[in-house]
Amino acid sequence: MKMRACSTNYFGHSLILVLLLSIVSFAAAQEIDCGECHEDVSFSSTAHPDHECQDCHTNVTTDHEGNDLEPLTNENSCAECHGKVLRTLGRSVHEEGVLCVDCHNGAHEITMVDDLGSAVSPVRQIKYCGSCHDTPASLIDGYLTSEHGKALLLSGLINAPSCSDCHGSHRILAVSNGNAPAAHENSPEMCGSCHLLLLENWKENSAHGQSWQAGEEGPVCTDCHATHEIADPTTAASRLSSADNCGGCHGEYLTTFRDGFHGKANDLGFVIGATCSDCHTPHNNLPEENPLSSVNPANLLETCSRCHANVTEAFISYDPHNDPTNPDDNYVVYLVWFFMTALLIGVFAFFGVHDILWLQRSLVGVLRGEFEEKYDKTGQYVRRFTRSNSRMHIVIIVTFLLLALTGLPLKFHAAPWAQTLIDLLGGIDSARFIHRFAAIGTFGYMVVHIIQVFIRWAINKEKGLFWGPNSMVPQPSDLKDFWANIRYFLYVGKRPAGDRWTYFEKFDYLAVFWGVMIIGLSGLMLWLPDFFTSFLPGWVLNAAYVVHSDEALLATGFIFVFHFFHTHLRPESFPMDLVVFLGKMPLDQFKAERTLEYQRLIDNNDLDAYLVDPPTAEELRRAYIWGTVFLLIGVALAIGIILALLGA
């Protein structure tokens, strides 16, 4: 009996051993069979080193008789081991259409997540996520050029934020979903997971952060720093875009900022000019009435001192958001604006009507042949200006054009041509230098001229300097000539006989004194604000800005339109009058246009002292070249002014 039992146990153990060997042999045979048929399949997964084919391909048919194989899916393969992850994925935006193998390197090359070669590693997930999320282009392209992208891909900081850091890995929700970490209302906490100190400071010391904590609508991190195109806030591009960024919510302040010097210079690329974040700070922006606010009156000295040295209490009364057209803002500045606007409109309206009447009368005169006389330009000439006068006028032209070229782009900063002109001048810093250099030249020629007049009056005892036909001081005869000209323009009178100076030439001359005084003084205030606010209130700077801007428009508009017409572009003188460059004019032209002066020289036997030789060919060539250059620049700027005023 005992031997029979042992024999039975031995037989049972042998049977079990045979079965196990059969299973192993079957598995080995299956591996061989898979390899024999699927030679092109290379299984190199480091995440699943011990897996066999049948561990994932549980649905493979065994008859190998050509039956179609079911596709490999998350549900019937990965779920065997990763069921919890699959359930999480099923609640994400990838619940349909996205398989595990789509993100994890394919079925046979799945690597560990923390392996840099993994498709979902921080370095490589940009490529894999981007294969589906390639529109809009800013999603991936914006990230690649962002600070996060450059830190990860260029600097090699493997802990720099990548797609999954902000959007999650398996439980990815649409940004519009309030539970998504990248949702608008959740972005502070998402960004704060890395920028913890900034988040805590923003929550406690920013009006934006306090609004967010209270559950109110307001800007959060992604509103100011974008989402995928996050840039270094200290770069020039970021600084220059700051105002427009803030203006998206604070439109009324953006308008007043852009209308001031800081805003206009900022718009033209003046990087070091103050922008919103300089005064209001980026993460500590509090209402003005808050004692901790950087723009609270008690803190303005410190705030303004960051850019301006020697800031005084008077200086901080300057209002960078002043609206001069609003009497409730600053009434004195409003009165200054009202006066300058009335002056601008008045001068332009007066000479606009005057010159339109003149132009139509001149065109009729051309058709009638009233100007057919040809002046002899090879015969006798009459000296009109001394060489010093001509040189002075050239200095005036050059400095005026430089001031216009560098100042008008600032006034019309939004015009399409403004930035182009600034770039041609070498940028805003170069334009500022040229503008100030030309301003010094303007003060220089004015001082020289005043000294010359003083010498003629006090030392040389020149008669008629301040009264009489040779004086630039307006006199009753000028009113008579004006009225006579109006009658001539309206075909009810003859053209008045010309004298040494006409009423519109006297206006040009005196306008220079007015312009240099008004534009020059206001410009100095803007150039040296610290000095002038040491004894003047800060709102004077607001008034100075209005004066400087409007008077500059008055001066350039008048010179490039009305003065050019009076001197060069009227049919009688077209295309230009060279007398200011040559200092002399043909005798017969002088006799026809300056009849009273000619007759006075004859009566006093002084004409011979004024007769000179005609200009040489070289003198004429230089005069035409420089005259054409100056004229074309002025006409181009005039067209730019008109287009800017029309909003083109």
Tens of pLDDT, residues 429-460: 999 999 999 999 999 999 999 999 999 899 98
| Spatial distance between the Cα atoms of 397 and 623, rounded to a whole number of angstroms | 13
Q: Please determine, for residue 74, whether its predicted confidence score (pLDDT) is greater than 50.
A: yes
Placement of tokens 């287009």 in the chain: 643
Tokens coding 604: 């006093």
Q: Over range 112-124, report the average pLDDT.
A: 78
SS3 label, residue 530: helix
For residues 16 and 387, give the distance between their C-alpha atoms in angstroms, rounded to a whole number.
Answer: 126
SS3 state at 648: coil
Q: From CA 436, how far away is CA 403, in angstroms rounded?
A: 8
| Lowest-confidence pick of 29-43, 272-286, 316-330, 430-444 | 29-43
| 611-612/381-383 β-pairing | antiparallel
pLDDT category of residue 27 using cuts at 50, 70 and 90: very low
Cis omega (within 30 of 0) for bond into 575: yes
Q: Judge whether 612 and 584 are in contact, CB under 8 Å.
A: yes
| Percentage of the chain modeled with pLDDT above 90 | 39
Q: What does the pLDDT look like over 518-554, one tens digit per residue?
A: 999 999 999 999 899 989 999 999 999 999 999 999 9
The confidence band for 3, taking pLDDT boundaries of 50, 70 and 90, is: very low
What tokens were used for 240?
């220059």
Distant-in-sequence, close-in-space partners of 449: CB < 8 Å, separation ≥ 6? 392
Rounded to 5 degrees, φ, ψ at 34 are -60, -45
Confidence class of residue 419 from pLDDT cuts 50, 70 and 90? very high
Alpha-carbon span 350 to 507, nearest angstrom:
12
Q: CB–CB of 395/441 below 8 Å?
A: yes
Overall average pLDDT of the 79-85 stretch: 77
Residue 22 confidence (pLDDT) above 60: no
227 or 68, greater pLDDT = 227
Residues ≥6 apart with Cβ < 8 Å to 26: none
Report whether pLDDT(298) > 80.
Answer: yes
Q: CA 239 to CA 245: how far, in whole Å? A: 10
Output the CA torsion 395→399→402→407 (10° steps): -160
Contacts of 645 (CB under 8 A, 6+ apart): none
Residues 82 and 74: their CA atoms lie apart, in Å, by 9
SS3 of 473, please? coil
In this structure, what token pair is assigned to residue 151?
């830190």
Cis status of the peptide bond prior to 71, with omega within 30 of 0: no
Element (H, E) at 456: none
Quick check: helix, strand or coil at residue 212? helix
The residue type at 8: T
- Rounded to whole angstroms, the Cα distance separating 145 from 134 reads 15
What lies within 8 Å, CB to CB, of 356 at 6+ separation is none
- Across residues 470-475, what is the average pLDDT? 90
Look at residues 226, 225, 313, 234 and name the one whose alpha carbon lies nearest to residue 275: 234
Give the tens place of pLDDT for each residue, 374-403.
566 778 899 999 989 999 999 999 999 999
| Residue 249 to residues 15, 246, 274, 560, Cα–Cα distance (Å) | 83, 6, 19, 40
Q: What pLDDT is attached to residue 61?
A: 54
616 secondary structure, DSSP code:
P
**H or E element in which residue 612 lies:** strand 611-612
**Do residues 531 and 547 lie in contact, with contact meaning Cβ atoms separated by under 8 Å?**
no
Reference 319, options 297, 339, 298, 340; nearest CA is 297
Find, among 269, 287, 271, 280, the residue nearest to 304 by Cα. Answer: 280
pTM confidence score: 0.79
DSSP-assigned letters across all residues of 38-81:
-TT-----SS-TT--HHHH-TT--SS-SSPPPPPP-TTTTGGGT
Q: Mean pLDDT throughout 244-259?
A: 88
Mean pLDDT (the chain, rounded): 85
Rounded Cα gap, residues 234 and 147, in angstroms: 12
Alpha-carbon distance values, 94 to 53, 87, 90, 166, 250 (Å): 26, 11, 7, 16, 38
What is the rounded average pLDDT of the residues 149-160? 83
Could you name the CATH architecture of 334-645? Up-down Bundle (1.20)
pLDDT (0 to 100) of residue 24: 44
| pLDDT number for residue 396 | 94
Angstrom distances, CA of residue 334 to CA of 327, 329, 515 = 5, 8, 21
Bond prior to 282 in cis (omega within 30° of 0): no
- Measuring CA to CA, which residue among 443, 444, 452, 409 is closest to residue 519? 443
DSSP 225-239: H-SSS---TTSHHHH
Is pLDDT of 6 > 90? no
Cα gap 593→468, rounded to integer Å: 19
- Report the pLDDT value the prediction gives residue 58, as an integer from 0 to 100: 65
Q: What is the pLDDT of residue 9?
A: 54
Structure tokens at 181: 């970490």
| Structure confidence at residue 234 as a pLDDT band (50, 70, 90) | confident
Q: Write down the pLDDT at residue 630.
A: 93
**What is the side-by-side order of every strand in the sheet holding 584-586?**
584-586, 381-383, 611-612
User: CB-hemisphere CA count at 13 Å for 478?
Assistant: 17
| Of 580, 583, 592, residue with least CA distance to 612 | 583
Higher-confidence residue: 95 or 388?
388
- Percent of the chain beyond pLDDT 70? 89
What distance in Å separates the CA atoms of residue 605 and residue 593, rounded to the nearest whole number?
19
8-state DSSP, 107: S
CA 578, CA 584: separation in Å to the nearest integer?
Answer: 8
Convert 391-406 into a string of H (helix), E (strand) and C (coil): HHHHHHHHHHHHHHHH
pLDDT score recorded for residue 532: 92
| Annotated domain spans of the chain | 237-307, 334-645
Reduced to 3 states (helix: H, G, I; strand: E, B; else coil), residue 508 is helix
DSSP 8-state symbol, 369: T
Q: What value does the mean pLDDT take over residues 303-315? A: 86
Confidence of residue 592 (pLDDT cuts 50, 70, 90): confident
Q: Name, in order, each residue with C-beta under 8 angstroms of 579's C-beta and a sequence gap of 6 or more.
A: 384, 385, 585
What single letter denotes the amino acid at residue 593?
E
